[in-house]
Protein backbone atom coordinates (compact mmCIF):
# COMPACT_ATOMS: atom_id res chain seq x y z
CA UNK A 1 0.00 0.00 0.00
CA UNK A 2 1.49 3.31 -1.14
CA UNK A 3 -0.50 5.18 1.49
CA UNK A 4 2.01 4.20 4.19
CA UNK A 5 4.91 5.82 2.32
CA UNK A 6 2.79 8.78 1.19
CA UNK A 7 1.69 9.55 4.75
CA UNK A 8 5.28 9.18 5.94
CA UNK A 9 6.38 11.92 3.52
CA UNK A 10 3.60 14.10 4.92
CA UNK A 11 4.79 13.53 8.48
CA UNK A 12 8.39 14.36 7.52
CA UNK A 13 7.26 17.55 5.78
CA UNK A 14 5.16 18.72 8.73
CA UNK A 15 7.98 17.91 11.12
CA UNK A 16 10.21 20.33 9.19
CA UNK A 17 7.36 22.84 9.15
CA UNK A 18 7.18 22.70 12.95
CA UNK A 19 10.96 23.11 13.18
CA UNK A 20 10.87 26.26 11.02
CA UNK A 21 7.98 27.67 13.05
CA UNK A 22 9.85 26.94 16.30
CA UNK A 23 12.90 28.79 14.95
CA UNK A 24 10.69 31.77 14.12
CA UNK A 25 9.18 31.83 17.59
CA UNK A 26 12.54 31.40 19.33
CA UNK A 27 13.88 34.44 17.40
CA UNK A 28 10.89 36.70 17.93
CA UNK A 29 13.08 39.06 20.01
CA UNK A 30 16.16 38.82 17.77
CA UNK A 31 17.11 42.19 16.27
CA UNK A 32 16.50 42.33 12.51
CA UNK A 33 15.38 38.69 12.28
CA UNK A 34 13.22 37.79 9.27
CA UNK A 35 10.74 34.97 9.67
CA UNK A 36 10.77 31.99 7.33
CA UNK A 37 8.04 29.88 5.85
CA UNK A 38 8.21 26.40 4.33
CA UNK A 39 7.34 25.85 0.68
CA UNK A 40 6.02 22.38 -0.20
CA UNK A 41 5.85 20.55 -3.54
CA UNK A 42 4.07 17.37 -4.52
CA UNK A 43 6.25 14.40 -5.46
CA UNK A 44 6.24 12.52 -8.79
CA UNK A 45 3.15 10.64 -9.95
CA UNK A 46 2.61 7.08 -11.08
CA UNK A 47 0.58 6.82 -14.29
CA UNK A 48 -1.78 3.88 -14.05
CA UNK A 49 -3.71 5.13 -17.08
CA UNK A 50 -1.94 7.89 -18.95
CA UNK A 51 -3.98 10.96 -19.79
CA UNK A 52 -4.33 11.70 -23.51
CA UNK A 53 -3.57 8.17 -24.70
CA UNK A 54 -5.75 6.58 -27.40
CA UNK A 55 -8.68 4.65 -25.98
CA UNK A 56 -9.96 3.19 -29.27
CA UNK A 57 -9.20 2.80 -32.97
CA UNK A 58 -11.71 5.58 -33.65
CA UNK A 59 -9.29 8.24 -32.33
CA UNK A 60 -10.87 8.76 -28.93
CA UNK A 61 -8.48 9.69 -26.10
CA UNK A 62 -8.47 9.25 -22.35
CA UNK A 63 -9.70 12.61 -20.98
CA UNK A 64 -8.21 12.47 -17.47
CA UNK A 65 -6.41 9.18 -16.85
CA UNK A 66 -5.32 7.75 -13.51
CA UNK A 67 -2.38 9.30 -11.71
CA UNK A 68 -1.31 8.31 -8.20
CA UNK A 69 0.64 10.92 -6.28
CA UNK A 70 3.51 9.73 -4.11
CA UNK A 71 3.41 12.37 -1.41
CA UNK A 72 5.01 15.71 -0.59
CA UNK A 73 8.48 17.18 -0.24
CA UNK A 74 9.95 20.37 1.19
CA UNK A 75 11.10 22.60 -1.66
CA UNK A 76 12.43 25.63 0.20
CA UNK A 77 12.42 27.65 3.38
CA UNK A 78 11.59 31.14 2.15
CA UNK A 79 12.73 34.22 4.08
CA UNK A 80 9.97 36.83 4.36
CA UNK A 81 11.68 40.23 4.15
CA UNK A 82 8.96 42.41 5.62
CA UNK A 83 9.94 45.50 7.60
CA UNK A 84 10.09 44.91 11.34
CA UNK A 85 8.88 47.48 13.86
CA UNK A 86 11.38 50.11 15.02
CA UNK A 87 12.12 50.12 18.74
CA UNK A 88 13.50 53.22 20.48
CA UNK A 89 16.73 52.55 22.39
CA UNK A 90 18.30 56.04 22.64
CA UNK A 91 21.72 54.40 22.11
CA UNK A 92 23.67 56.63 19.72
CA UNK A 93 25.27 53.63 18.00
CA UNK A 94 22.01 51.73 17.45
CA UNK A 95 20.88 52.05 13.83
CA UNK A 96 17.82 50.78 11.99
CA UNK A 97 17.02 50.72 8.28
CA UNK A 98 13.65 52.01 7.11
CA UNK A 99 13.27 50.38 3.73
CA UNK A 100 15.58 48.24 1.62
CA UNK A 101 19.20 47.52 2.35
CA UNK A 102 21.73 45.75 4.55
CA UNK A 103 24.68 46.91 6.59
CA UNK A 104 27.99 45.56 5.28
CA UNK A 105 30.22 43.74 7.76
CA UNK A 106 33.85 42.69 7.30
CA UNK A 107 34.34 39.13 8.56
CA UNK A 108 37.62 37.91 10.13
CA UNK A 109 38.45 36.02 6.89
CA UNK A 110 38.09 39.23 4.88
CA UNK A 111 34.74 38.33 3.30
CA UNK A 112 31.74 40.64 3.49
CA UNK A 113 28.60 39.65 5.36
CA UNK A 114 25.29 41.51 5.49
CA UNK A 115 22.88 42.25 8.31
CA UNK A 116 19.78 44.22 9.26
CA UNK A 117 20.79 44.19 12.94
CA UNK A 118 22.25 47.62 13.66
CA UNK A 119 23.19 47.14 17.32
CA UNK A 120 26.71 48.51 16.92
CA UNK A 121 29.39 49.45 19.43
CA UNK A 122 32.90 50.90 19.49
CA UNK A 123 36.02 48.77 19.89
CA UNK A 124 39.26 49.73 21.65
CA UNK A 125 40.34 51.76 18.60
CA UNK A 126 37.09 53.69 18.33
CA UNK A 127 35.95 51.75 15.25
CA UNK A 128 32.26 50.99 14.71
CA UNK A 129 31.80 47.21 15.13
CA UNK A 130 29.15 44.54 15.69
CA UNK A 131 28.68 42.88 19.11
CA UNK A 132 31.18 40.23 17.90
CA UNK A 133 33.79 42.88 17.09
CA UNK A 134 33.43 42.70 13.29
CA UNK A 135 34.06 46.01 11.51
CA UNK A 136 31.15 47.86 9.94
CA UNK A 137 32.10 48.94 6.43
CA UNK A 138 33.51 51.27 5.24
CA UNK A 139 35.35 51.52 8.56
CA UNK A 140 34.10 54.41 10.70
CA UNK A 141 36.43 55.58 13.48
CA UNK A 142 35.13 57.89 16.20
CA UNK A 143 37.73 60.27 17.73
CA UNK A 144 38.57 59.55 21.36
CA UNK A 145 37.67 63.12 22.39
CA UNK A 146 34.21 63.01 20.80
CA UNK A 147 31.44 64.16 23.12
CA UNK A 148 28.65 62.73 20.99
CA UNK A 149 27.93 61.17 17.61
CA UNK A 150 25.17 61.99 15.14
CA UNK A 151 24.28 59.72 12.22
CA UNK A 152 21.76 61.21 9.82
CA UNK A 153 19.29 59.45 7.53
CA UNK A 154 21.79 59.52 4.67
CA UNK A 155 24.44 57.64 6.65
CA UNK A 156 26.77 60.59 7.30
CA UNK A 157 28.54 60.25 10.66
CA UNK A 158 29.32 63.43 12.59
CA UNK A 159 31.29 63.69 15.83
CA UNK A 160 31.01 66.55 18.29
CA UNK A 161 34.61 67.27 19.32
CA UNK A 162 35.44 68.89 22.64
CA UNK A 163 36.31 72.55 22.09
CA UNK A 164 34.98 72.73 18.53
CA UNK A 165 31.77 74.48 17.49
CA UNK A 166 31.10 72.59 14.26
CA UNK A 167 30.65 68.84 14.13
CA UNK A 168 33.33 66.84 12.32
CA UNK A 169 32.33 64.51 9.49
CA UNK A 170 34.12 61.22 10.24
CA UNK A 171 32.63 58.95 7.57
CA UNK A 172 29.77 57.81 5.37
CA UNK A 173 27.92 54.55 5.93
CA UNK A 174 26.91 52.52 2.89
CA UNK A 175 24.08 50.01 2.40
CA UNK A 176 23.90 47.03 0.08
CA UNK A 177 20.83 45.80 -1.79
CA UNK A 178 20.23 42.56 -3.71
CA UNK A 179 18.05 41.58 -6.64
CA UNK A 180 16.86 38.54 -4.66
CA UNK A 181 17.41 39.07 -0.91
CA UNK A 182 15.63 35.77 -0.20
CA UNK A 183 18.62 34.07 -1.84
CA UNK A 184 21.06 35.23 0.86
CA UNK A 185 22.53 32.48 3.03
CA UNK A 186 21.98 32.57 6.79
CA UNK A 187 25.16 31.83 8.76
CA UNK A 188 23.92 32.78 12.23
CA UNK A 189 24.88 35.75 14.34
CA UNK A 190 22.37 37.90 12.43
CA UNK A 191 24.65 37.65 9.38
CA UNK A 192 23.94 36.74 5.75
CA UNK A 193 26.22 35.86 2.86
CA UNK A 194 25.93 36.54 -0.86
CA UNK A 195 25.09 33.54 -3.06
CA UNK A 196 24.58 32.91 -6.75
CA UNK A 197 20.82 33.05 -6.07
CA UNK A 198 20.93 36.47 -4.38
CA UNK A 199 22.96 38.09 -7.13
CA UNK A 200 25.79 40.56 -6.64
CA UNK A 201 25.20 43.40 -4.18
CA UNK A 202 24.66 46.98 -5.22
CA UNK A 203 26.09 49.51 -2.79
CA UNK A 204 24.88 53.04 -2.20
CA UNK A 205 24.26 55.73 0.38
CA UNK A 206 21.13 55.45 2.53
CA UNK A 207 18.30 57.46 1.07
CA UNK A 208 19.48 57.07 -2.53
CA UNK A 209 17.07 55.62 -5.08
CA UNK A 210 16.19 52.07 -4.03
CA UNK A 211 17.92 52.31 -0.64
CA UNK A 212 16.32 52.70 2.77
CA UNK A 213 17.09 55.47 5.25
CA UNK A 214 18.83 55.14 8.60
CA UNK A 215 17.26 55.94 11.96
CA UNK A 216 19.68 56.58 14.81
CA UNK A 217 18.73 55.44 18.29
CA UNK A 218 16.35 52.76 17.00
CA UNK A 219 16.63 49.01 16.33
CA UNK A 220 14.53 46.97 13.93
CA UNK A 221 12.70 44.18 15.73
CA UNK A 222 11.97 40.82 14.15
CA UNK A 223 8.95 40.57 11.85
CA UNK A 224 7.65 37.46 13.63
CA UNK A 225 3.93 37.66 14.46
CA UNK A 226 3.43 35.41 17.53
CA UNK A 227 -0.30 34.97 16.90
CA UNK A 228 0.26 33.93 13.28
CA UNK A 229 3.08 31.57 14.26
CA UNK A 230 0.93 29.85 16.91
CA UNK A 231 -1.84 29.48 14.33
CA UNK A 232 0.65 27.97 11.87
CA UNK A 233 1.92 25.66 14.60
CA UNK A 234 -1.58 24.36 15.35
CA UNK A 235 -2.21 23.82 11.62
CA UNK A 236 1.07 21.91 11.23
CA UNK A 237 0.28 19.78 14.28
CA UNK A 238 -3.15 18.87 12.90
CA UNK A 239 -1.63 18.00 9.52
CA UNK A 240 0.92 15.77 11.24
CA UNK A 241 -1.83 14.03 13.20
CA UNK A 242 -3.87 13.47 10.02
CA UNK A 243 -0.90 11.86 8.28
CA UNK A 244 -0.30 9.62 11.28
CA UNK A 245 -4.01 8.69 11.15
CA UNK A 246 -3.55 7.65 7.50
CA UNK A 247 -0.73 5.31 8.54
CA UNK A 248 -2.89 3.88 11.32
CA UNK A 249 -5.81 3.33 8.94
CA UNK A 250 -3.57 1.74 6.29
CA UNK A 251 -2.15 -0.60 8.91
CA UNK A 252 -5.67 -1.62 9.96
CA UNK A 253 -6.60 -2.28 6.33
CA UNK A 254 -3.53 -4.46 5.84
CA UNK A 255 -4.35 -6.35 9.03
CA UNK A 256 -7.87 -6.96 7.71
CA UNK A 257 -6.45 -8.45 4.49
CA UNK A 258 -3.96 -10.62 6.40
CA UNK A 259 -6.72 -11.97 8.63
CA UNK A 260 -8.97 -13.06 5.75
CA UNK A 261 -9.57 -16.85 5.97
Mean of per-residue pLDDT scores for the chain: 92
Q: Is the pLDDT of residue 261 over 80?
A: no
pLDDT, tens only, 62-87: 888 888 888 999 999 999 999 999 99
Q: How confident is the model at residue 156 (pLDDT cuts 50, 70, 90)?
A: very high
pLDDT score recorded for residue 7: 93
pLDDT score recorded for residue 165: 80
Average pLDDT over residues 157-181: 91
pLDDT score recorded for residue 53: 83
Confidence (pTM): 0.85
pLDDT score recorded for residue 3: 87
Mention every residue, 6+ apart, whose C-beta is less than 8 A from residue 226. Answer: 25, 28
Amino acid sequence: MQSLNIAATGMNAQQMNVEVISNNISNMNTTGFKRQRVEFQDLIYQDQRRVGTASSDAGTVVPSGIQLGLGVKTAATYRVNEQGALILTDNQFDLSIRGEGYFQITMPNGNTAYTRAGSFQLDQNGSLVTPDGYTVQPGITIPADALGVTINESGQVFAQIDGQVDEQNVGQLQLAIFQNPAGLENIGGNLLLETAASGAPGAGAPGAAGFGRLQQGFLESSNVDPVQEITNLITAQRAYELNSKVIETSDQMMSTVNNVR
